[in-house]
Chain A
Amino acid sequence: MEKRKGYYLIIPAIIIMCIFTLYPLIDGIRVSFTDKSMLRPDDNYIGIDNYKQLVNDPIFWISLRNSIKLTIIVVILQLFFGLILAWTLKQDIPGMPFFKSIIMASWVIPVAATVTIFKFMAQPDVGFINIILKSIGLSNLIKYWFGDPRTAFSFIVILHLWRNVPFYGITFFAAMQTIPDSFYEAAEIDGANAFQNFWYVTLPGIKNMIIIMVTIHVLWTFNNFEFIYLATGGGPINRTDVLPVYVYRQSWVNYAAGYGASIGTIMLLILSIYMIIYLIMQERGEYQR
């Protein structure tokens, strides 16, 4: 009797998740085996033709490589700068509470707004970056930073850092607060220097938070569509093409939904492999403890 009430409570959530999450996922995989076009209501089963086409599609391979490269570079840099920021937030100096209260702003605002801000700042004639470059005598560097094949990718990395590093900093800082002072005092008695302190006390103390943040952001960065689609659309000359953007272009610009879905399914496969490795490693970690 009591149990039945429990079911009633979760039924709305289950129904919504089934219609709007589970079904689309399964149907998305099904569509990847069809020649579905967004311009026709019907579709035909065509086996693995989409996947055959995909193997010979150079842009798919470029996107795959860029996606993996972007995710690895972004997460490593975020982790590095996040730790520096967290260490800074821990310092008890005047003005720190104020700094703490404003630093997360970039994480809160819409990605579309972030892209707009940076597009404006990267403009060759009116952009802030180029105004500064000009004023310090580096006029030869002036350009539209998202439009140059050599700098577009780095700029996308910077957008990701701009949004998420403060979030890393704040959460790592919160985790550091839970490390008892006595651990540091003990390390001091043992004659540990600042680096040893960090390596043997701080890092193990915030290990769980690091694992969670890295996992969330690997998924987030790999799946993120908006930054690149809005900033460069994958250009110039496919330099910043990533899988989510390619899926979107195939489905909603070329209307080749079947082909787009096959690329999406590959994304799902890669993420599943990542999650399985993560779960195995976590299981093993628990076991060791």
Chain B
Amino acid sequence: MPRLTKKQLKIRNTIIAYLVVIISICFFILPMVWIFYCSFRTQESIFTGKIIPPLEGFTIDNYLRVFSVTDFPRYFVNSLRISTLVTIISLIVSILGAYGLSRYRIKGRKFIILGIFSTQMFPHVLMLIPLFLVIFSMNLMDTTIGIVLTQLILVLPFSMWMLKGYFDTIPIDLDNAAEIDGSSILQRLIYVILPVAKPGVMVVAFYSFVVSWSDYLIVSVISQSQKTATLTLIISRLSSSLLVRWGQVCAVATLTIIPTLILFALVQKRLIKGLTAGALKE
């Protein structure tokens, strides 16, 4: 093979790169655009099997029906309530815990860190059987708080690990300076450390919210009624019923996806930095 000159190489790479970009957009992005698009089409228009229907095939009826006829608003509020609570509790517990692990040489520290990290590999389907019994015996079946407490197992290990790594990068001099001022641990944490650790805290908040919002496994077991059912539960139920109104399913799917995408857009840059920082520190 003859060696390419620098310019030829650059042209070749550009062509290959654009090819990959086009294929990637078709594969990764188009499916989302398609359901968004179909959420504005009538059932008849979807069933023609045409990609571009005549103009009368478009409608916002799907959204109107989702909001008025179905119980969508209730499920949306359920999802929002559960995810918000999971985020708040996960933040409080993991900020305190990670700060303790990062700043104090307590006994068994290494063991605790390893223990927290290894819980990542436990099969949730196995733990769910006893968890169900725990929730049942606490009389928390079909309650928001029962779901929230159980979902914490999904988010706490990563949140603690991530924040501990973040606190480790903050110089301890900062703590010491604040200590001389005579502030308590909590004051130090809230007024000195957290403002500096804000990017890490935002990543953990985003992660907790999205994991809770996306959870199906736990909700499917703990939730028993409309009272606590979430969007993921409903969307799966809708799309496996016999006569699927695809237009409405697409509308519900769109509304389920959009909050996660908005949050992601807000934290994207920090998220990627935060996720990769630990691995790249070495």
Q: A residues engaging B (CB < 8 A)?
A: 2-3, 5-10, 12-14, 16-17, 19-25, 27-28, 31, 36, 38, 84-85, 88, 91, 93, 95-96, 99, 101-106, 108-113, 115-121, 123, 125-126, 128, 131, 134, 162, 165-166, 170-171, 174-175, 178, 193-194, 208-209, 212, 219, 223, 225-226, 230, 243-244, 247-248, 251-252, 257, 260-261, 264-265, 267-268, 271-272, 275
Distance between A87 CB and nearest chain B CB, rounded to angstroms:
8
B29 touches A91 (CB 8 A): no
Q: Known interface pairs A131-B49, A208-B280, A209-B280. Does A116 touch B253 (Cβ–Cβ under 8 Å)? A: yes
* Residues of chain A contacted by B238 (CB below 8 angstroms): 116
A22 to B129, CA, bound (A): 13
B122 touches A3 (CB 8 A): no
Distance between A248 CB and nearest chain B CB, rounded to angstroms:
5
B260 touches A109 (CB 8 A): yes
B125 touches A12 (CB 8 A): no
A31 touches B279 (CB 8 A): no
A88 to B23, CA, bound (A): 12
B249 touches A25 (CB 8 A): no
A247 touches B123 (CB 8 A): yes
Distance between A70 CB and nearest chain B CB, rounded to angstroms:
15
A99 to B18, CA, bound (A): 11
Task: Give 1 or 0 for each of B86-117: 1 = CB within 8 Å of chain A CB.
Answer: 00000011101101110111110000100110
B126 touches A252 (CB 8 A): no
Which residue on B lies nearest to A106, using beta carbons?
Answer: B28
A243 to B124, CA, bound (A): 12
A7 to B260, CA, bound (A): 35
Task: Give 1 or 0 for each of B172-193: 1 = CB within 8 Å of chain A CB.
Answer: 0000000000000100000000
A226 to B128, CA, bound (A): 14
Task: List 28 A-B pairs, Cβ < 8 Å.
Answer: A6-B106, A7-B100, A8-B100, A9-B99, A9-B100, A9-B185, A10-B106, A13-B156, A17-B115, A17-B119, A17-B156, A20-B149, A21-B156, A25-B127, A28-B127, A85-B20, A108-B260, A116-B238, A119-B240, A128-B51, A162-B27, A162-B28, A174-B276, A208-B280, A219-B120, A225-B217, A257-B129, A271-B122
Interface residue total, chain B, C-beta cutoff 8 A: 97
Q: In the complex, which of the residues B24, B93, B220, B246 contacts A13, with contact meaning CB atoms closer than 8 Å? A: B93
* Residues of chain A contacted by B272 (CB below 8 angstroms): 170-171, 174
Q: Known interface pairs A14-B112, A131-B51, A271-B121. Does A118 touch B106 (Cβ–Cβ under 8 Å)? A: no
Q: Known interface pairs A19-B134, A103-B24, A225-B125. Does A113 touch B257 (Cβ–Cβ under 8 Å)? A: yes
Distance between B40 CB and nearest chain A CB, rounded to angstroms:
14
* Residues of chain A contacted by B225 (CB below 8 angstroms): none
Query: Chain A contact residues: over half helix, strand or loop, or mixed?
Result: helix
Q: In the complex, which of the residues B107, B128, B149, B249 contacts A251, with contact meaning CB atoms closer than 8 Å? A: B128
Distance between A34 CB and nearest chain B CB, rounded to angstroms:
11
| Interface set, chain B 203-223, CB cutoff 8 A to A | 210, 213-214, 216-217, 220-221
| Interface set, chain B 146-186, CB cutoff 8 A to A | 149-150, 152-153, 156, 160, 185
Q: Known interface pairs A10-B100, A13-B96. Does A106 touch B32 (Cβ–Cβ under 8 Å)? A: yes
Given contacts A13-B160, A95-B21, A131-B49, list 15 more A-B pairs with CB under 8 A: A3-B105, A7-B106, A20-B153, A28-B130, A31-B130, A106-B32, A109-B256, A116-B239, A117-B34, A125-B47, A128-B51, A219-B120, A225-B124, A251-B128, A264-B125
B229 interfacial contact with A, CB 8 Å? no
* Residues of chain A contacted by B210 (CB below 8 angstroms): 108
B60 interfacial contact with A, CB 8 Å? no
Which residue on A lies nearest to B254, using beta carbons?
Answer: A113
A166 to B24, CA, bound (A): 9
Distance between B67 CB and nearest chain A CB, rounded to angstroms:
18
Distance between B101 CB and nearest chain A CB, rounded to angstroms:
6
* Residues of chain A contacted by B57 (CB below 8 angstroms): none
A106 to B106, CA, bound (A): 41
* Residues of chain A contacted by B28 (CB below 8 angstroms): 103, 105-106, 162, 165-166
A198 to B7, CA, bound (A): 19
B38 interfacial contact with A, CB 8 Å? yes
A106 to B74, CA, bound (A): 26
Q: Known interface pairs A110-B232, A118-B31. Does A268 touch B123 (Cβ–Cβ under 8 Å)? A: yes
A244 touches B261 (CB 8 A): no
B264 touches A104 (CB 8 A): yes
A178 to B134, CA, bound (A): 47
Query: Sorted from nearest, which 9 A-B pairs have the closest CB atoms?
Result: A6-B104, A264-B126, A9-B100, A13-B97, A110-B214, A27-B130, A112-B232, A24-B127, A24-B130
